[in-house]
Structures are given as C-alpha cells and as structure tokens.
Amino acid sequence: MLKLFCLAGAVLGFIGVAAGSFGAHGLKDMLEANGQAANWETAVRYCLFHAVVLVAMAGLAAAPGASSAGSLLAVAAGCFLAGVLIFSGFLGVLALTGIRILGAIVPIGGVLLLVGWAALAAAIWRLKL
C-alpha cells in the first residue's frame, strides 16, 4: 500500500508538471484563444495537490499505530487517484477539445476527491499516534 501511494503520487506529480509546462508553453496560445486556460490550470493544480497528498499519505500509513486506519487510508488514496484522473483528466480534455459535455463528467471526479478527503479525515481520527 505504501509503495502504491508513493508511486501514484510520483506519477501524478510527473503528469502535473508536464501538463503545466506544456500548457504554459506549447498550448498557451490555443488555450487562451479558446478561453480554456483557466480550466487547464485548474486541472493541473488539482493533479499536483493530490500528488503531494498521496506521497504524504504514504508517510502517514508508515507511522506506528497506523494499522488501525489502513483501510480508510486505502479508500482515501483510491478516491484521490480516481478523482484526479476523472476531474483533471476530463477537465484537461475539455480544455483541449472544447467538447462541453465532458464538463458534466468532471463533478464525478470532484465528488471522489471530497470522499477521499472525508476518508482521510476519518483515517487520521482513527490513528493511534
């Protein structure tokens, strides 16, 4: 579980930095012309935030007494990963293509992120530190 949290965080961090750089340089003119720069930036920001949280969760899961919260940490990590893929992924595709119907899928990712944060809070509450 620890390795998976760290790996997911590292991969999301890589994707976030690459997408942010690409958006600021290679896609900047197109995103601004289509009025989608803010959507791209939001997608990148959420990806990067949750990348850091996943890596931090690996440290939390390794703490003594964390076994009591292991399943909740796994739920939180799964929700964060799925939520970022849906939220940032579909928002990014929307920004690139302008296909507005994709905006209807983005909130599903947002709900998963919220569930992830709630599960993380519950896990922290259960920790025996």
Q: How far is the C-alpha of 71 from the C-alpha of 49, rounded, in Å?
A: 22
Closest CA to 73 of 105, 121, 26, 32: 121
Instruction: Name the phi and psi angles at 80, rounded to 5.
Output: -65, -45
- Residue 37: pLDDT over 80: yes
pTM above 0.85, yes or no: yes
Which pLDDT tens digit goes with each residue over 68-97?
778 899 999 999 999 999 999 999 999 999
Which pLDDT tens digit goes with each residue over 11-30?
999 999 999 999 999 999 99
Q: How far is the C-alpha of 33 from the C-alpha of 116, rounded, in Å?
A: 35
What's the total number of domains in the chain?
A: 1
Task: Report CA Rg, the chain.
Answer: 16
Instruction: Count CB neighbours of 16 within 10 A.
Output: 22
Q: Give residue 119's domain range.
A: 2-126
Closest CA to 75 of 15, 5, 16, 10: 5
- Residue 65: pLDDT over 80: no
70 and 120 in contact (C-beta within 8 Å)? no
